[in-house]
A = this chain, B = another copy of it.
Amino acid sequence: MTMREQRDLPTSSYVILGLLATCGPSTPYELKKLIDGSIGYFWDFPRAQLYVDPERLTQQGLLAEERETTGRRRRVYRITAQGEAEVRRWLDEAAVAEVEMRDTGLLKLYFGSLLNPADVVELARRERDLHQRRLATYEMIRAELEHEPAQAFAFATLRMGVAYERMSIAFWEDVAKAPPTTTLDAAGS
């Protein structure tokens, strides 16, 4: 009988474990709300996942489920000691270079040679606007978190978000101002 190598859970599951560990027992719906206002900005999960994952995690003994007996009969999940151990193990684990920007705009820019210059500028402006809107959202959340000591870690990740959006805005403004071109002679006569 082969010993099956211990594999990591999907990322969505760690988010669920982490939220239940830090925010206490919650329903899938509440988890979605929490994610939408925080983590979801840089790593989103579809709602259904938050119903499917906890079931699996409960079977694995990492969560405990309690179902309301009246009204909406919702499932309230809380993390078990084993679940806390697993999320701590994951947090301590040395990272294996997992960063993916997954920026559709950047992907499109990579294929910019298929567009004419005017459309590249158009793309750059759309992207700049998109990042400006997101920056505005972040600044609002930032104002709310700024003086809540309990939210120090949320605040730190948000700072990263703000820096990223500012950088993106500057980048796309650059692109709009001086769009790359694969023809040798774009500006000169």
Shortest Cβ distance from A19 into B: residue: B111
Determine if A155 and B130 form an interchain contact, defined as CB atoms under 8 angstroms apart.
Answer: no
CB distance from A37 to the nearest CB of B (A): 12
Supposing A99-B101, A152-B182 touch, asked if A157 and B106 sit within 8 A by C-beta, the answer is: yes
CB distance from A35 to the nearest CB of B (A): 11
Question: A100 to chain B: which residues have CB within 8 Å?
Answer: 42-44, 100-102
Q: Which of A33-83 contact B (CB under 8 A)?
A: 38-39, 42-44
CA distance A34 to B84 in the complex (A): 41
- Provide the main secondary structure of the chain A interface: helix
Question: A141 to chain B: which residues have CB within 8 Å?
Answer: none
Binary interface profile of A, 104-128, with partner B (CB < 8 Å = 1, else 0)? 1111111111110001000100110
Q: Contact check: which of B131, B153, B180, B184 meets A110 at CB < 8 Å?
A: B153
Supposing A42-B102, A91-B119, A99-B103 touch, asked if A110 and B181 sit within 8 A by C-beta, the answer is: no
Q: Contact check: which of B39, B94, B109, B159 meets A126 at CB < 8 Å?
A: B94
Determine if A163 and B156 form an interchain contact, defined as CB atoms under 8 angstroms apart.
Answer: no
CA distance A5 to B89 in the complex (A): 45
Q: Quick check: is A154 within 8 A (CB to CB) of the other chain?
A: yes
Shortest Cβ distance from A163 into B: residue: B167
Q: Quick check: is A134 within 8 A (CB to CB) of the other chain?
A: yes
Residues of chain A touching chain B, judged by Cβ–Cβ distance below 8 Å, are 11, 14-15, 18, 21-22, 38-39, 42-44, 84, 87-88, 90-92, 94-95, 97-115, 119, 123, 126-127, 130-131, 133-134, 149-150, 152-157, 159-160, 163-164, 167-168, 171, 175, 180-182, 184
Q: Return the 4 tightest CB-CB contacts between A and B, nearest first.
A: A152-B180, A42-B101, A18-B111, A112-B153
